[in-house]
């Protein structure tokens, strides 16, 4: 961003590589009629075979979206919401138990447990059990983090060098990262075959893919590859955003009280132990949605982050101001809100993620008063995603 401030909207940062921070260019780059392809950076994320996230050929991507879209339709998400609520209810009970002790709650950890268990239930029909156990016995979270960091680095290398990185035995970054990628593939395969052998009336992601397989539209290796991909795509992204939201609001007492007032108005009185807010009641709450948009505009790392901090669009872009999304120009700003990308390559799970994040955040601030355990700035680690290293909070029942 410093280079854009110095040199303007178009900055050449490498041979054949131009960074563009120009609102007018969005349609040309991301639009349905764009001739732009994903770069070969995404080839580094290949496991088993290309998936909807990293396949570069437009026709292949269109074919994949066709059989995956059914699993992410409004009807499918509505049918899955009760299953999501099972995990959220368990999560709330665990947080209540922790709040009764003097221990701090690290939401970096607990947001991860929630996101992984929800995506496990959505993709494979059952959670990984992290919330209930209060731990990750498979070391899956660290595996995903380590894999993301090394594949992110691998993608920046010339294609002819990537193959040789697996021989970097004495460099712990490469050896641990590539081993993590292999471990994730093994865990994904195991989860797939466990689900394959179970007949379930529940509509999960694999049930839609099995139907496509029965129609001859997709093969088994492709299903396995997509399953592995969704473990990553549906976990780190949402958990990071939930954590950053809690980090921001736990440091701003006035904002937290306003958010709690809004939630109390929508859900009056005390709620029972298994309470989970329904999505229909959350999706139109102005401050809740505005604050989530502002978190995703300011902190969460996406390729369009420069656009979302462009002062030509967002006044005082470095300031965290949820109210900007509640003003008279909110619709205009929404045109430039692109954390899920836009066009044909927009995130297929964006509505799923939004529902999950709103529900989790509402549970936290309807149920608890939350205060950060430190006045120090949050330490951020950037791999493929921007993640808070910790988000330790004092949590008390309201």
| Interatomic CA distance for residues 188 and 137, integer angstroms | 15
What sign does the CA torsion over 304, 152, 109, 84 have? positive
- Choose among 300, 346, 384: nearest CA to 42: 384
> Which residue is listed with tokens 């990185």?
165
- Choose among 203, 209, 240, 201: nearest CA to 227: 209
Task: Please give the DSSP secondary-structure letter assigned to residue 33.
Answer: T
- Three-class DSSP category at 13: strand
Backbone angles phi, psi at 303, to 5 degrees: -60, -25
User: Who's near 209: CB < 8 A, 6+ residues apart?
Assistant: 67, 68, 71, 218, 223, 226, 227
- Is 383 in contact with 152 (CB distance < 8 Å)? yes
- Three-class DSSP category at 20: strand
- Dihedral through CA 103, CA 109, CA 113, CA 116, nearest 10? 170
Is 347 annotated as ligand-binding? yes
Residue 291, CB-side half-sphere exposure with 13 Å CA sphere: 27
Give, in order, the Cα–Cα distances in Å from 396 to each of 251, 365, 370: 15, 10, 7
Starting at the earlier edge strand, list the strands of the sheet with 392-397: 105-106, 392-397, 368-372
| Interatomic CA distance for residues 137 and 301, integer angstroms | 28
* 3-state secondary structure labels for all residues of 48-100: CECCCCCCCCHHHHHHHHHHHHHHHCHHHHHHHHHHHHHHHHHHHHHHHHHHC
**Residue 367, token pair as written in the block:** 């149920």
- Is 160 in contact with 44 (CB distance < 8 Å)? no
| Interatomic CA distance for residues 172 and 105, integer angstroms | 31
DSSP β-ladder status, 386-388 and 392-397 = unpaired
Binding residues for heme: 347
Binding-site annotation, residues: 347
């Amino acid at each position: 961003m410093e280079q854009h401030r110095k040199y303007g909207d178009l900055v050449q940062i490498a041979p054949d590589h131009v960074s563009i921070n120009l609102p007018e260019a969005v349609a040309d780059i991301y639009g349905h009629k764009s001739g732009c392809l994903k770069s070969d950076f995404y080839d580094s994320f290949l496991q088993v075979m290309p998936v909807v996230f990293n396949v570069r050929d437009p026709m292949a991507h269109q074919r994949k979206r066709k059989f995956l879209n059914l699993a992410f339709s409004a009807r499918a998400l509505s049918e899955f919401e009760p299953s999501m609520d099972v995990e959220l209810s368990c999560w709330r009970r665990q947080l209540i138990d922790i709040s009764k002790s003097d221990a701090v709650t690290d939401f970096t950890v607990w947001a991860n447990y929630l996101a992984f268990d929800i995506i496990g239930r959505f993709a494979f029909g059952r959670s990984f059990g992290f919330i209930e156990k209060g731990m990750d016995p498979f070391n899956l979270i660290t595996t995903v983090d380590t894999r993301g960091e090394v594949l992110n680095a691998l993608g920046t290398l010339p294609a002819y060098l990537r193959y040789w990185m697996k021989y970097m035995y004495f460099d712990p970054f490469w050896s641990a990262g590539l081993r993590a990628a292999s471990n994730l593939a093994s865990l994904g395969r195991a989860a797939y075959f466990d689900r394959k052998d179970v007949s379930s009336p529940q509509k999960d992601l694999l049930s839609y893919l099995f139907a496509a397989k029965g129609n001859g539209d997709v093969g088994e290796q492709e299903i396995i590859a997509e399953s592995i991909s969704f473990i990553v795509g549906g976990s780190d992204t949402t958990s990071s955003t939930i954590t950053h939201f809690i980090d921001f609001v736990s440091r701003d007492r006035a904002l937290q009280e306003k958010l709690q007032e809004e939630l109390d108005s929508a859900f009056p009185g005390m709620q029972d132990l298994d309470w989970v807010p329904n999505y229909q009641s959350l999706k139109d709450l102005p401050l809740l949605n505005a604050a989530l948009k502002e978190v995703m505009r300011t902190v969460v790392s996406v390729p369009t982050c420069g656009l979302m901090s462009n002062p030509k669009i967002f006044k005082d872009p470095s300031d965290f101001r949820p109210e900007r999304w509640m003003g008279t120009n909110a619709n205009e700003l929404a045109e430039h809100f692109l954390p899920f990308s836009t066009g044909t390559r927009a995130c297929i799970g964006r509505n799923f993620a939004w529902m999950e994040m709103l529900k989790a955040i509402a549970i936290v601030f309807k149920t608890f008063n939350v205060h950060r355990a430190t006045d120090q700035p949050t330490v951020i680690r950037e791999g493929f995603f921007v993640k808070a290293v910790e988000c330790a909070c004092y949590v008390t029942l309201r």
